[in-house]
Structure 1
Amino acid sequence: MSESIIKNKSFLFAIRIVKLYQYIVLEKKEYVLSKQLLRSGTSIGANVREAINGQSKADFIHKLSISQKECDETLYWLELLKETFYINEVEFLSIHSDATELLKILKSIIISTKQNNS
């Protein structure tokens, strides 16, 4: 159940990241920070997909851990874009909230999988 939730949420989040990237590039003419955001923000879902298709519980945990790191990195880029005025407070709060929710879900799945693996 939680695998499909994280799979869907991470995919929808990636779509939001792509759209935010397009906006920042087209409207704000910023190319470096936005590219980092695009890479980390879309990597979350890609690693979730790899985790779901993992060969073992250890592989599953490893790939989700990479997703967790990418999600935290995405939060960093979002915070930096806000503080440098490439995105406003409203834009930031909306997508930051989604990223924080993803991070919490990922952490929860990793913890419960480790506990069930013991």
Structure 2
Amino acid sequence: MGAKELLFRTREFALNVIQILDKLPDSIGNKTIKNQLVRSATGMAANYRASTKSRSLKEFTARLGVVIEEADESWFWLDLLEVLNPKLSEISLLKSEAFQLTAIFTSSVKTIKRNACEKAPNNS
């Protein structure tokens, strides 16, 4: 999957989260979760965008680490939101997307690290 598609997916994820949060009432639980979720979802999109402007592989990998944390955190808040709002079926789709994005970015970091190890000089 290319950078352009991931830029689109992370942006769409953030927008979809915002749209679903606008549908929810401002109960105490929802309000707290809405605050955290909007930050993690938009943070994921913004940090992925920033990663595409990285000046080095090390900086790129570090940014992806933040993206993974934000995507996983988004999944967590969506899970809580789903428990509090079981009739809102769109939440499960967003949870699935958060899980998929976490997996994609985790796989990318693992590949980068594996390739770095393979290119490292043998010190034996």
SS at match of 1:61: helix
CA deviation digits over 1:50-87, x for unaligned, max 9? 111111101000001100000110011011111122x5
How far is 1:89 from its partner? 5.7
Residue in 2 that maps onto 1:5:
5
Percent sequence identity over aligned pairs: 25
Establish whether residue 100 from structure 1 lines up as the match of residue 107 from structure 2: no
What RMSD in Å do the two structures reach over aligned CA positions?
1.5
Q: Take 2:95 and 2:72, find their aligned partners in 1: how far apart are those partners? A: 10
Q: How many residues align?
A: 114
Q: Take 1:20 and 1:12, find their aligned partners in 2: how far apart are those partners? A: 12
| TM-score, length basis structure 2 | 0.83
Residue in 2 that maps onto 1:57:
57
| TM-score, length basis structure 1 | 0.87
> Which is helix-richer, 1 or 2?
1
The 1:51/1:42 distance shift into structure 2, 3 A limit, reads same
Q: Take 1:72 and 1:53, find their aligned partners in 2: how far apart are those partners? A: 22
Q: Take 1:3 and 1:114, find their aligned partners in 2: how far apart are those partners? A: 18
Residue in 2 that maps onto 1:116:
115
Unaligned runs of 5+ in 2: 118-124
Any conservation in 2 of the 1:75–1:96 contact (CA below 8 Å)? yes
SS at match of 1:53: coil
Q: Take 1:69 and 1:6, find their aligned partners in 2: how far apart are those partners? A: 16
Residue in 2 that maps onto 1:82:
82
Unaligned runs of 5+ in 1: none
Residue in 2 that maps onto 1:72:
72
How far is 1:7 from its partner? 1.3
Any conservation in 2 of the 1:2–1:109 contact (CA below 8 Å)? no
Residue in 1 that maps onto 2:120:
none
